[in-house]
Structure 1
Amino acid sequence: MSESKGPRTVRELGEFALIERINKGRIQAPGVLLGPGDDAALIAAPDGRFVVTTDMLVQDRHFRLDWSSAEDIGRKAIAQNAADVVAMGAVPSAFVVALGCPADAPLELIDGLADGMWAEAARAGASIAGGDLVRSRDLVLSVTAFGDLRGRAARTRAGARVGDTIAVAGRLGWSAAGLAVLTAGAESAEFTEVLAAHRVPQPPYTSVLDALQLPGADDLHALTDVSDGLLADLGHMAESSGVAMDLDAAAVADPALDPIAALLDADAAQWILTGGEDHAFAGTWAAGAALPAGWRPIGRVCAGHGVTVGGVRWSGSAGWESFGGVDSAVADEPR
């Protein structure tokens, strides 16, 4: 008689056993007072406020299973939410995840998603406090993130002032370059770094959080993460603040992307200015302020409205818009 094999799919294992499998052996961060196992989680709010954000990823719109591993997808789902929390000046404290998956989804896939989500949550200094599990036709991940301001004022898009220095922390255009490689079917050794950047963004959380603990933290007037594209996200900041912004093309450029763009017959400047998903951080700092480690200047806040590059308006799309273009992860950059 042949030896019985263990369950291989979600259907075979069952909902509650799957939930137990996902959570077994996980250690909660200090901000989670009660994790999975009850009707709801209990999360600490030390100064009486939460920063809260949510984001959803849908299979073949925001990711493709033939382009990214399950662990990559799990990490990306957490990273894009953690970046939004940090962009408000808060420290990530907990995540709640709702997962929809087909009944025949392999357990290996769910294990990979869970491992990726927990790994990125730990990198952000937090943990996954709970969530929901439902049956769906395609794979769907919806993440809610909570953040602790630790007594500080929130940093919003509305604080930029005329004369401020525009600065960024993190890389720009790398995720867009990786997407271009995947779309062109041109995977090879010279594209390894941009492919990794697209599959697993690396928001520089500490560049923001360390800066907020320095004596000159009040010099950071406005802050956002670059998720939809540098021009698009700075455009939101300029509008919210009632100012204009002008970028220095040379300061924004990244020579490391030029040879990749040449191989793909593409424009590296377009990746940098309109690509998103690197989840770099862009902020405006008081004129003359010394920028903290990890930040570099790329432009200046001016009177007026809108965003220019070297005084010239950018022609074409400034970045991602969820209901623009064709509804396909191949034709549109997934966000």
Structure 2
Amino acid sequence: MGTIGELGEFGLIGLLTRRLPRGPDVRLGPGDDAAVVAAPDGRAVATTDLLVEGRHFRRDWSGPYDIGRKAAAQNLADVVAMGARPTALLVGFAAPLTTDAAWAEGLYDGLADECRAAGASVAGGDVVGADAITLAVTALGDLGGRPPLTRSGARPGDVVAVRGRLGWSAAGLALLEEGRDGPAVLIGAHRRPEPPYAAGAEARAAGATALLDVSDGLVQDLGHIAASSGVRIDLDSSAVPVPDVLGPGGLRHALTGGEDHAFAGTFPAEAVLPSSWSPVGVVAEGTGVLVDGREPGRGGWDHFRA
């Protein structure tokens, strides 16, 4: 196939879009000026993310398939965190003209497979030449006639619970930065997160008062719920799931590591939580987040922090 420059814009578009299955929510897919996506609820949940080579991924650490799955996962998880069902992605793909067309195929295979896991489709997008690979992904979702789950509904007395892996991606990143090749499960978690997409429906069924995707670290992200709801969140570090594979720095990774795309929510004290959810704290009157009664140090990801 050669490079994407040799294929040309429309050759590349044809190569990539042929790889994308279309689900029932996409009424008109790639090939026109815009896609048509069903919105049965009359509203659409929408979110977008940018991934820049060297900032969000490295091609010497991750292959194109994993990068595609990661790009889709972080957007699909945001839709699920609103209590919505993911329906479609729009993908902007910028890359040097010397990029192998096979690399682009792997990327879109990853996007498509992650969409399948969440019940969504890639509905369209754009391609353009650039100095570095950049992905701009927009995800859409359907609320099914229900109100969104936001960050502003937590109330004193609520239970704080988490669903999914915490700290695995951060631990894997640390291994890669140290030049190590294992444990493979941690490096794999950094390359390809596994959001538990059922978490949104589970949280809604359990009466969640607030919900979010843990993308920048548990403490930092729970701080968003605390600020939006006007409450304090008290975390019990002994209740945070820290498997042995995370090693001696496991708790730090679990509290401050991002990119696992787990979910954290608040629930009424009487709520019956599925066994897949782990209670890790309570909501109280006040402000901020405390860990074992103390102010945590600086942690979590901030794109503009040096």
TM class by smaller structure: over 0.9
Aligned to 2:213: 225
After superposition, the C-alpha distances for 1:160-206 in whole angstroms (9 at most, x for unaligned) are 00000000000100000000000000113xx1111111000000011
1:39 maps onto 2:33 in alignment: yes
After superposition, the C-alpha distances for 1:255-279 in whole angstroms (9 at most, x for unaligned) are 3245x33xxxxx2221111111000
SS in 2 for 1:270: helix
- Which of 9, 12, 37 aligns to 1:15? It is 9
1:318 maps onto 2:306 in alignment: no
- Which of 260, 263, 266 aligns to 1:281? It is 263
After TM superposition, give the deviation of residue 253 of structure 1 in Å.
4.3
Counterpart of 1:203, as a letter, is P
After TM superposition, give the deviation of residue 25 of structure 1 in Å.
4.9
**For residues 275 and 47 of structure 2, what CA distance do their matches in structure 1 show?**
27
**For residues 319 and 158 of structure 1, what CA distance do their matches in structure 2 show?**
21
**For residues 220 and 192 of structure 2, what CA distance do their matches in structure 1 show?**
22
**For residues 221 and 26 of structure 1, what CA distance do their matches in structure 2 show?**
36
- Which of 103, 106, 110 aligns to 1:112? It is 106
| TM-score, normalised with respect to structure 2 | 0.98
- Which of 225, 233, 240 aligns to 1:237? It is 225
Aligned to 1:206: 198
Residues 51 and 94 from structure 1, CA distance in 2 versus in 1: closer, same or farther, beyond 3 angstroms?
Answer: same
Counterpart of 2:60, as a letter, is D
After TM superposition, give the deviation of residue 211 of structure 1 in Å.
4.3
**For residues 152 and 17 of structure 2, what CA distance do their matches in structure 1 show?**
39
Residues 93 and 245 from structure 1, CA distance in 2 versus in 1: closer, same or farther, beyond 3 angstroms?
Answer: same
Residues 211 and 223 from structure 1, CA distance in 2 versus in 1: closer, same or farther, beyond 3 angstroms?
Answer: closer
**For residues 22 and 228 of structure 2, what CA distance do their matches in structure 1 show?**
37
Residues 110 and 33 from structure 1, CA distance in 2 versus in 1: closer, same or farther, beyond 3 angstroms?
Answer: same
- Which of 45, 61, 67 aligns to 2:55? It is 61
Gaps of 5+ in 1: 1-6, 262-266, 326-335
**For residues 230 and 17 of structure 2, what CA distance do their matches in structure 1 show?**
46
- Which of 108, 116, 122 aligns to 1:122? It is 116
Identity %: 53
1:183 maps onto 2:183 in alignment: no
- Which of 82, 89, 93 aligns to 2:87? It is 93
SS in 2 for 1:98: strand
SS in 2 for 1:156: coil
Aligned to 1:330: none
Aligned to 1:296: 278
Residues 203 and 39 from structure 1, CA distance in 2 versus in 1: closer, same or farther, beyond 3 angstroms?
Answer: same
Counterpart of 1:319, as a letter, is G
Aligned to 1:264: none
1:248 maps onto 2:236 in alignment: yes
**For residues 255 and 79 of structure 1, what CA distance do their matches in structure 2 show?**
23
Structure of larger gyration radius: 1
1:157 touches 1:224 (CA, 8 Å); kept in 2?
yes
1:309 maps onto 2:291 in alignment: yes
**For residues 296 and 26 of structure 2, what CA distance do their matches in structure 1 show?**
45
- Which of 251, 254, 259 aligns to 1:269? It is 251
**For residues 108 and 51 of structure 1, what CA distance do their matches in structure 2 show?**
33
SS in 2 for 1:97: strand
SS in 2 for 1:313: coil
SS in 1 for 2:47: strand
SS in 2 for 1:205: coil
Superposition RMSD in Å: 1.1
**For residues 70 and 185 of structure 1, what CA distance do their matches in structure 2 show?**
20
Gaps of 5+ in 2: none
Q: Paired residues, what number?
A: 306
| 1:75-90 to 2 correspondences below 5 Å | 75-90=69-84
1:207 touches 1:293 (CA, 8 Å); kept in 2?
no
After TM superposition, give the deviation of residue 318 of structure 1 in Å.
2.7
**For residues 164 and 252 of structure 1, what CA distance do their matches in structure 2 show?**
17
Residues 69 and 85 from structure 1, CA distance in 2 versus in 1: closer, same or farther, beyond 3 angstroms?
Answer: same
1:172 maps onto 2:160 in alignment: no
After TM superposition, give the deviation of residue 292 of structure 1 in Å.
2.1
